[in-house]
Chain A
């Protein structure tokens, strides 16, 4: 074994009490970081999943129609005008299959789903509800929303005039699987549809209004043969959505909304959580560094005579430096290994104990390799760094002085 490792490990082993104490301190620090990170990451993931489970990351649609003045003002002649907002009508995205192909090849986009989205009414006997009709390609929709998992009754099947509706809408209309309702669209088209599935996305606004039908059926309901009004996108990195949206907005001359723009408050909350996590990590790291540094500083003072002897008998000062750097690194590494295990156990325990009324964990935690790897790398690095000052002092010990004053 190299000299520096041999001496460093022996020193750690020899000072059992001291080593155990500082290891415990490092472990607790790392455990706190791992536990909090797991918890906060878990909360963020579940919040984002809840928000985005029923929502596309980016939505593209035809820009609003704005009236244009036919007579322009000139320097000689001013114009007084009253501009009335134009009534919006449902229009198809021009050349949408080509546009869709283009989007699919855009960097960061994972899936695209074409849709016809419009408003209408659902009627059954005396009950009448305002609804949002979404005509989709079932296969492509699955890439955006995993609707199969959200079905609470029947199944997701959109053949012919079969449709799926939200659970609250079904209750309001008092319909069940296999029953029929009458649908009237804003284009004045009427049709009778059969309920084949009822879904619950967990968002009251959606569950009370959505009616999902096939793309072809929706096209006929809105008199848009072959057209689509909206393209919905899933992106690889949810936090990349705004960038993708603005890229597409410029390139395609379409309106593009990202979930980030539509959920600004959620984003603020998430970043506040991330900041508090960073703050806690920072202070724990500082505490761990100070702990390791102080233990090593004491050790250098205690051993100054021994170090002087080693220097006197021919040990190079860089080897003495290495002895203490290794001690710092090993304390950080061992402490973080124990701490990671401790933190993970604590997080799992917390997840199992804190359960909601439905038995699902209230605080889902995220424990993954990057979390452990970064905690271990951080603690080891901090250990090394904390050892720098004591190690430099040790390597600078004047052998004659240490022996004289011994």
Chain B
């Protein structure tokens, strides 16, 4: 059997030392390659916590995360950074672009910061990503000179420029007007369709959630429902 891209095993996360808050209470989840999954739930249900844990930004209190076949519980800080750089792309609710840099530089920074030195290939890849999100003519703009929708597109280009197998998005459209939100969502779907990039998208926008292949609903740190549209995930042979 092929190891799934992401396997979450009985992951729990509690915060605080004296007063303990339970954000995740033993979550089991498997995400296959090529899925486009929505993670929904009321605020405080643990969506962002789950995303942070899956994104290796936070360690679970118990349980383990297997990412692309790697057990992450045994990795040190350096190993986590390495794995993040290779397998994950992040899109946040706020674009979190670096205001001192141009759009192109922002898209190049992850690879640049990982490799240390810029390269021609790195630049070409970043330019291609920006073209793919429709910003070919805005590459050398400071990100502060772009509109909200354009900024989020740059953030998507940044998340996707290194072709990570898994992209984690936390409310990627939460801060945009309907039209821009639509554009951004369609862009993510396009990458999912064309490149087979797997997406795990946190949202509380019902309209977005219903347009995904799979909707995972989280309540009080538990998965309440996990619905796949059309039965099996794409890309896997039907039984």
Contact = CB atoms under 8 A, between A and B. Distances in A.
Interface of A: 1-4, 6-7, 10-11, 13-14, 305-306, 309-317, 319, 398-400, 403-404, 406
A305 B98 CA distance: 9
A313 B113 contact: yes
Contact of B113 (A11, A305, A315, A406): A315
Contacts of A399: 57
Contacts of A403: 52, 57, 92, 96
B236 interface: no
Nearest to A309: B96
Contacts of A309: 90, 92, 96, 98
Interface stretch (B114-122, B132-140, B175-183, B204-212): B114-122
Nearest to B53: A400
Given A313-B109, A315-B110, A2 B116 contact: yes
Nearest to A320: B113
B77 A310 contact: no
B70 interface: no
Contacts of B10: none
A403 B90 CA distance: 11
B100 interface: yes
A306 B110 contact: no
B81 A314 contact: yes
- Please classify the interface of chain A as helix (H, G, I), strand (E, B), loop, or mixed, using the class held by over half of its residues: helix
B113 A310 contact: yes
B58 interface: yes
* Interface pairs A-B: 4 shortest CB-CB: A314-B85, A315-B113, A400-B57, A14-B100
A406 B109 contact: no
Nearest to A12: B100
Contacts of B92: 309, 403
Interface string B107-149: 0011011111110000000000000000000000000000000
A404 B48 contact: yes
B117 to A, nearest CB: 6
Given A6-B112, A13-B100, A306-B98, 6 more contacts: A4-B116, A14-B99, A309-B90, A313-B85, A314-B114, A316-B78
B228 interface: no
B158 interface: yes
B117 A2 contact: yes
A398 B89 CA distance: 17
Contacts of B96: 305-306, 309, 403, 406
B84 A312 contact: yes
Nearest to A13: B100
A319 B48 contact: no
Contacts of A310: 98, 109-110, 113
A312 B113 CA distance: 11
Contacts of A317: 77, 81
The residue among A305, A312, A400 with the most chain B CB atoms within 10 A of its own CB is A312
25 contacts: A2-B116, A3-B109, A3-B117, A4-B116, A6-B118, A7-B109, A305-B96, A309-B98, A310-B110, A312-B57, A312-B84, A312-B90, A313-B84, A313-B90, A313-B113, A313-B158, A314-B84, A314-B110, A314-B113, A314-B114, A315-B110, A315-B113, A399-B57, A403-B52, A406-B96
Contacts of A306: 96, 98
Contact of A400 (B52, B82, B99, B115): B52
Contacts of B78: 316
A220 B231 CA distance: 128
B191 interface: no
Contact of B116 (A13, A319, A398): A319
The residue among B96, B114, B115 with the most chain A CB atoms within 10 A of its own CB is B96
Contacts of B90: 309, 312-313
A313 B126 CA distance: 15
B54 to A, nearest CB: 11
